[in-house]
Amino acid sequence: MVATTPSSGPDPRTPARYPWHPPGARAAHLVLDRVPLPLAGAARIYTCGITPYDVTHLGHAATFVWSDLLASVARAVEVPTVTSRNVTDVDDVLTAAAVRTHRTTDDVAVTQEFLFDRDMRDLAVARPDAAPRARAHVVQVVQLADALLRLDRAYERAGTVFFRAPADLDRAGLSEEEALAAFDEFGDRADDGREAAWDVPLWKPSDDAQPAWPSPWGWGRPAWHVECAAMAMTVFGANVDVLVGGADLAFPHHAYQAAMVEAASGTTPFARRRMHVGTVHADGAKMAKSTGNLVLVRDLLADHEGAAVRLLLLDRDWRAPWDYDASALAAAEDRLARLRAAAGRSGADDGRDRVLAALLDDLDVPAAASVAEEVGGEGARTLLSVLRLSS
Ligand SMILES: [Zn+2]
């Protein structure tokens, strides 16, 4: 046999080149919380969402704007993202709010969700790919509790199913005393029957005033931490790339959510990285209804562009707690105007690369914005686009 070579057409010895490859494609050398988090394949981001019983204040908004930015930065470097943000519409605080206002829990929840979605839209927060509701995941909670019982990681006492806290429970850097205080505030305590101080309920029996579902342990309702564990497992399976929430969710909520999923799945870690967004204070105290210092997103949006409020939240270290005051919002408006002016100039050739490099370096928005102001042109347009600050 004699090999033949076609007399025309491309030379088969020449490798193909694809110059139309996406110009934004580059390795995603993301650093998150000071440690590299290499991204390959889809980035799965689970954000702890709202309990729809009250209005959205600036502290809530900060968490959702930062998780939105994380997804946006990943997409800007050609990493597909799958985002999930739950709605905790089965919760004792929601039930209490309904009783207090003589409404049904559905009425309270649907109203607050509508108002929340409107705030998020005005802050240019993309809708999550998945928005699981606790109400629709009661079966998954029962299955998870049952799995933990069979693995002897849980036990039942008079209709309450308790999760055995692991000995190496992650206290998120808190001292024993601080952890106990946080546990008392957010531990989702059940009054009796637990074998060890750090055990938490998975399933609680309901009285006549509480919502109830049938279960192998009688009529009852899911506890809080397990709801997020079950919703995350339903959307993503045994693990996620980034678990996002406000700093006050680090312990106990995220610690238990992770411990429950890890115990049931046998896979660690549940979250490759956790992103706990710094608490927003006003008048020197954490924003809380009881303190009377809430700054509502809706009130700010009445007089200010959504993009300015968004930049106010983003133009800082995402970990650090900070104090809101009106002059900071005015400064954010000035910064936004300078960035938009810079975007209209011609700029440096490497502006886009430099802005993306700063954002990949622990979402350093202040550095990225300074680069954008300095280089102008494509760099500034990239920043406005990735931060979703376009008017
Ligand atoms: Zn959660």
140 C-alpha to ligand 1 centroid (Å): 15
pLDDT classification of 23: cutoffs 50, 70, 90: low
Inside any domain, residue 266: yes
Report the separation in Å between the CA atom of 49 and the middle of ligand 1, taken as the mean of its atom positions.
7
d(CA 65, CA 311): 9
Ligand 1 mean position, distance from CA 239 (Å): 14
How confident is the model over 242-259, as a mean pLDDT? Answer: 96
Task: State the pLDDT confidence band at 256, using cuts at 50, 70 and 90.
Answer: very high
Q: Which residue has the higher pLDDT, 303 or 292?
A: 303
**pLDDT level of residue 349 (50, 70, 90 thresholds):** confident
pLDDT at 45 over 70: yes
Report, as an integer, the average pLDDT of 48-54.
90
239 in any annotated domain: yes
Question: Is residue 26 assigned to a domain?
Answer: no
Whole-number Å distance, alpha carbon 337 to ligand 1 midpoint, is: 36
Please state which of the ranges 16-25, 346-355, 357-366 shows the lowest mean pLDDT.
Answer: 16-25
Instruction: For residue 386, report the distance from its CA to the centre of ligand 1, in Å.
Output: 26
> Ligand 1 centroid to 189 CA: how many Å?
16
| Ligand 1 centroid to residue 254 C-alpha, Å | 7
Overall average pLDDT of the 82-108 stretch: 93
With cut-offs at 50, 70 and 90, classify the pLDDT of residue 186.
confident
β-bridge pairing 280-282 and 322-324: parallel
What is the CA(46)–ligand 1 centre distance, in A?
Answer: 9
Separation of 225 CA from ligand 1 center, angstroms? 6
Ligand 1 centroid from CA 228, angstroms: 5
Cα dihedral sign, 227-232-237-238: negative
Report CA(48)–ligand 1 centroid distance (Å).
Answer: 4
Instruction: Kindly state whether residue 85 falls inside one of the protein's structural domains.
Output: yes
CA of 186 to the centre of ligand 1 (A): 12
Residue 221 has pLDDT above 70, yes or no: yes
Q: Is the pLDDT of residue 213 over 70?
A: yes
d(CA 4, CA 319): 66
Confidence category of residue 15, pLDDT binned at 50, 70, 90:
confident
Q: How far is the CA of 236 from the centre of ligand 1 (A)?
A: 14
Is residue 212 over pLDDT 60?
yes
The residues pairing with 84 across neighbouring beta strands, listed in sequence order, are 46, 130
Taken in order 311, 312, 316, 321, the sign of the CA dihedral is negative
pLDDT at 189 > cutoff 70:
no
The verdict on residue 146 lying in a domain is yes
Q: Is the pLDDT of residue 118 over 90?
A: yes
> Can you point out the beta strands (E) in the chain?
31-32, 35-36, 43-47, 81-85, 154-157, 160-163, 200-205, 220-222, 240-246, 271-277, 280-282, 285-286, 322-324
- Summarize the confidence of residues 255-284 as an average pLDDT: 96
- Please determine, for residue 191, whether its predicted confidence score (pLDDT) is greater than 80: no
The per-residue pLDDT for 40 is: 87
Q: How far is the CA of 187 from the centre of ligand 1 (A)?
A: 12
What's the 86 CA to ligand 1 centre distance in angstroms?
7
How much distance in Å is there from the Cα of 253 to the middle of ligand 1? 6
Higher pLDDT: 376 or 56? It is 376
Give 388 Cα–ligand 1 centroid separation in angstroms. 25
What average pLDDT score do residues 32-58 get?
93
* Interval between CA 243 and ligand 1 midpoint (Å): 9
Mean pLDDT of 72-92: 94
Average pLDDT taken over every residue of the chain: 92
Å from CA of 259 to ligand 1 middle = 13
Residue 72 belongs to domain spanning = 39-277
Cα of 246 vs centre of ligand 1, distance in Å, is: 10
Q: How far is the CA of 335 from the centre of ligand 1 (A)?
A: 33
* More confidently predicted of 58 and 286: 58
Which stretch of 9-18, 148-157, 291-300 has the lowest confidence by average pLDDT? 9-18
How high is the pLDDT of residue 7? 61
Give 28's pLDDT tier (boundaries 50, 70, 90): confident
Ligand 1 centroid to 15 CA: how many Å? 50
User: What local confidence, expressed as pLDDT, does residue 187 receive?
Assistant: 66
Where do we find the tokens 């000071």? Answer: 34
Instruction: Mark the residues whose beta carbon lies below 5 A from ion ligand 1.
Output: 48, 228
Phi-psi sector, 215: left (phi>0), alpha (psi -120 to 50), beta: beta
CB 129 within 8 A of CB 83: yes
Amino acid (1-letter code) at residue 134: A
The amino acid at residue 58 is L
User: Residue range 170-184: average pLDDT?
Assistant: 88
Q: Residue 5 above 70 pLDDT? A: no
What is the per-residue burial (b if ≥16 Cβ within 10 Å, else e) of 234-273?
bbbeebbbbbbbbbbbbbbbbbbbbbbbbbbbeeeebbbb
Tell me, yes or no, whether 33 lies in a domain: no
Examine residue 149 and state whether it is found in any structural domain, yes or no.
Answer: yes
CATH number at residue 243: 3.40.50.620
Q: What is the tally of structural domains in the chain?
A: 1
Distance (Å) from CA 251 to ligand 1 centroid: 11
Distance 115 CA to ligand 1 centre (A): 20
The Å distance, Cα 97 to ligand 1 centre, comes to 19
Q: Cα of 351 to ligand 1 centre, how many Å?
A: 38
The predicted pLDDT at position 140 comes to 98
- pLDDT grade, residue 239 (50/70/90)? very high
- Residue 391 predicted with pLDDT over 70: no
Residue 269 lies in a domain: yes
